[in-house]
Amino acid sequence: MIAVRPGPPLAGTVTVDGSKNAALPLLAAVAALGRPVRLTNVPANTDVQIMLALLQQAGWHVAQPVGEPTAAVILPTESRRTHAELPQAAHIRASYYLVPALLARHGEARLPWPGGCRIGARGMDLHFTVYEAFGDRTAVDESGYRVEAVTPRTGTVSLVLPFRSRGATVAAVLRAVTTSRPLRLGSPNLSPEILCVLDALETVGWETRTSEHLLTLTPPSSALIDGIAWEVPGDKIEAGTLACAIAATRGTARIEGVHGRDVNPLIAALRRLGIPAGADAGILSVRARDARPTSRGLRAIASLSPGGLDADFEPPLMALALSLPGTHLFADAINPGRHSNLLPQLARLGADFEELSPTECRLTGPQQLTGTGVEATDIRTGSALMVAGLTAQGVTTVGGLDQLRRGHADLPGKLRALGADICEVTP
Among positive and negative, which fits the CA dihedral 32, 110, 124, 266? negative
From CA 298, how far away is CA 329, in angstroms rounded?
6
246, 286 Cβ separation under 8 angstroms = yes
In the sheet where 144-148 sits, what is the strand order? 108-112, 144-148, 137-140
From CA 345, how far away is CA 221, in angstroms rounded?
54
Please confirm, yes or no, whether 196 is among the known catalytic residues. Answer: no
Strand pairing category for 137-140 and 144-148: antiparallel
Catalytically annotated residue among 117, 196, 244, 361: 117
Q: Give Cα 38 to chain centroid, integer Å.
A: 21
Catalytic residues: 117
